[in-house]
Amino acid sequence: MNDRLEIPKFASEEEEANWWFEHRGRLEEEFLEAARTGRLRNGSTALRRAREAANALTIRLSDSDLAAIRHLAAQRGQNEDACAASILHRALETEMPGRGVDRQ
């Protein structure tokens, strides 16, 4: 799609909501075209692709597990991600000895 849709300044939330609703068909067309041509840069699709490219995994933790990771990370002087990865790596070594996966 060559002629890009210009998003105006809105005087109110109601005016903005009405504009998005009235242009939903055109916005869908632009989104699908951007997806087809690889131009998506922000939003959940781009975030998912970035995580996949970085071999990242998002998991939900209980409040108590998260607190424990934060406590251990502070004790070790690590960031939370590094601490959680270290704990997970050790747990996998215990569960699957000799699995042959290198640490990153």
Long-range contacts from 91-97, C-beta under 8 angstroms, 24+ separation: none
Instruction: Give residue 91's pLDDT.
Output: 93
Q: Are 58 and 51 in contact (CB under 8 A)?
A: yes
Q: CA–CA separation, 59 vs 6, rounded Å?
A: 38
Q: CA–CA separation, 86 vs 36, rounded Å?
A: 38
- 77 three-state secondary structure: coil
- pLDDT tens, position by position, for the chain (104 residues)? 457 778 899 999 999 999 999 999 998 888 888 888 877 776 777 677 777 777 777 889 999 999 999 999 999 999 998 999 999 999 999 999 887 655 55
Q: CA–CA separation, 35 vs 37, rounded Å?
A: 6
Write down the pTM of the prediction. 0.46
